[in-house]
Amino acid sequence: MIRRNWKIELPLHFMLLPGLILVLLFCYGPMAGILIAFQNFIPVKGLFGSEWVGLDHFRYVYGLPETITVFRNTVVIASMKIVAGLIAPLITALLLNEIGKRLFKRTVQTVIYMPHFLSWVIMAGILLDVLSPTTGIVNAVLDWLGVTKVFFLGNADWFPYVLVGTDVLKEFGFGTIVYLAAITGINPALYEAAVLDGANRWKQTLHITLPGIVPIIILLLTLGLGNVLNAGFDQVFNLYSPSVYSTGDILDTYVYRIGLGNGQYGVATAVGLFKSVISFALISISYFLAYRLANYRIF
């Protein structure tokens, strides 16, 4: 029984109107602004007054030696983060699951979730202080242990690993939520049956808990695919310095520097467009895979 009645339905369309207008202006407006990538864009002349240059910016970017470095850094850092960001919370969740004392479990959860809610500005402020080669507490400990001090944020060899490590530090706790929810969803009867068959806790973890959360692992991995070009602008921007550009500069920071820093709007938009298009393809593929493999739907 489908009753279509405009009078009843109309308010729904009105409700959507403000959101639609804002999205059209601030999300679809910039998509039209992609034309800047094909122009010698000069802000005062506007989108229609600026000179068209075709694919010149893309050729220019293609010829720059930095481009390949930046692209490689982005993929390397993002991939390491995706893998580490999958494993660390998984192990933590399995360990938390073995804790019997509720109070202890809750306290640990409260503490390890917290860094997720601090911005990278705050985290960077803390990390710059703690990791400083001269005054930082980490290097003080290393010194005390007899290990040579490390200039974590100024050494290009260390920098990508510091990024991955600090990202894990900030997000591993929050990441456990998904796994803990999945573990809670496992049928308790399976454990009872396993106990009757003589399985100890370790065997139960190996043969019931882990297989029980494999779907969520696969889901997170496929969704991670969409993030291969997102190496974390907020983090890198607040932690990097010219001395680590060779291994730490990523597409987003590169776009920011050449675009808003140097005013090469056309070139920066071209690089940004390149990233958007590849990301779009990756996210589409990852959603498609997630839908096929885990029956995941966005809405």
Partner 1 sequence: MVQHNAWGRKLFIALNYSLLAAMSLVCLLPLINVLAVSFSSAAAIEGGKVTLWPVEFTTRAYTFVASKKEFLTSMGISVQRVLLGVVVNMLLTILTAYPLSKEITQLRFRTGYAWIFVFTMLFSGGLIPTYMVVREFGLIDSLWSLVLPGAVPIFNVILMLNFFRNLPKELSESAFIDGAGHWQTLWRIIVPLSMPSIATVTLFTIVGHWNEWFQGLIYMNDPIHYPLASYLQTIVVKLDMTQLNDPTALRFLSELNDRALRAAQIFLGMVPVLCVYPFLQRYFMSGIVLGSVKE
Beta pairing, strands 51-52 & 39-40:
antiparallel
Q: How far apart are CA 273 and CA 260, in angstroms?
A: 15
Closest approach, Cβ 276 to partner 1, in A, equals 5
Show the tokens assigned to 108.
């640990």
Q: Buried b vs exposed e over 21-33: b needs ≥16 C-beta within 10 Å?
A: eeeeeeeeeeeee
Is residue 163 close enough to count as binding partner 1 by CB under 8 A? no
206 binds partner 1 per the rule CB under 8 A: no
Residue 181's contacts (CB-CB under 8 Å, 6 or more residues apart) are: none
HSE at residue 185, side-chain half, CA atoms within 13 A, is: 13
Position among 72, 125, 193, 211 found at the interface with partner 1 (CB under 8 A): 125
Q: Which is nearer to partner 1, 79 or 238 (CB)?
A: 238
Among the listed residues 45, 59, 72, 201, the single contact to partner 1 using CB under 8 A: 201
Contact residue for partner 1 among 45, 62, 129, 288 (CB under 8 A): 129
CA distance to 159, 241, 243, per residue, from 139 (Å): 15, 19, 19
CA 275 to chain centre: 15
| Residue 276 found at the interface with partner 1 (CB under 8 A) | yes
Answer yes or no whether residue 250 interacts with partner 1 by CB under 8 A: no
Residue 115 touches partner 1, criterion: CB under 8 A: yes
5 or 148: CB nearest partner 1: 5
* Interface residue with partner 1, options 153, 228, 229, 289 (CB under 8 A): 153
CB-CB contact of 89 with 172 (8 Å): yes
- Is residue 102 close enough to count as binding partner 1 by CB under 8 A? no
- Report if residue 252 touches partner 1, rule: CB under 8 A: yes
Interactions with partner 1, residue window 5-64 (CB under 8 A): 8-9, 11-13, 15-16, 18-20, 22-34, 36, 43, 47
